[in-house]
Amino acid sequence: MGINYEIYSKENITDEIRHVFAELLKLQGKVQGDLLGKADRCNLLCVTKDNSKVIAIGAIKIKTASVFSNRKSGLPELANDFEWELGYMYTIPQEARKGIAKKVAQMLVETFGKGNLMASTEVTDNPAMVSILEQLGFQRRGKSWKSNIHGNELGLFLKYGIA
């Protein structure tokens, strides 16, 4: 059967999808708080399966507003330009480096359409995601900051939609 990418809009997110999503966020280990509730912050959510096994997730979620602060990227003047964020990207380690995250990100961005999107990712510890974002038209802006969760250096990436 192979790899299957399913995109769910906010109104189609079920409890089963919430649980699957939360489980992969837990495996990722880089998101805090109510993991079940994270799916409810999403406008679009992608669950990727190889046969029946969930191997990757990603989403377009409500932006993390604090990344625009002077304490983080130093771009508070741009905060109002962005409402949505490409995030919660995770592929299980056994399936990494097979182009799955790129496909998830690409599908989410295409489904989202022409609006502005932001993303933040680890700039030194996750060069693959930096490359994916750049290939999708995101540009790094502002200064880097350290994550409060894992201590890695994060960067802000912005993609302006075409009106």
96-102 average pLDDT score: 94
pLDDT of residue 30: 82
Across 8-29, average pLDDT = 94
Give yes or no for residue 68 having a pLDDT over 60: yes
Judged against a pLDDT cut of 90, whether residue 124 lies above it is answered with no
CATH of the domain at 64: 3.40.630.30
Q: What is the mean pLDDT of residues 105-134?
A: 94
The closest alpha carbon to 111, from 44, 158, 157, 27, belongs to 44
- pTM of the predicted protein model: 0.93
pLDDT at 142: 96
Residue 163's pLDDT is 54
Strand pairing partners for 120? 156
Q: How many domains does the chain have?
A: 1
- Give residue 52's domain range: 3-159
Beta strands in the chain (DSSP E): 3-9, 42-50, 53-62, 84-91, 117-122, 139-146, 153-159
Residue 48 CB neighbour total at 10 angstroms? 25
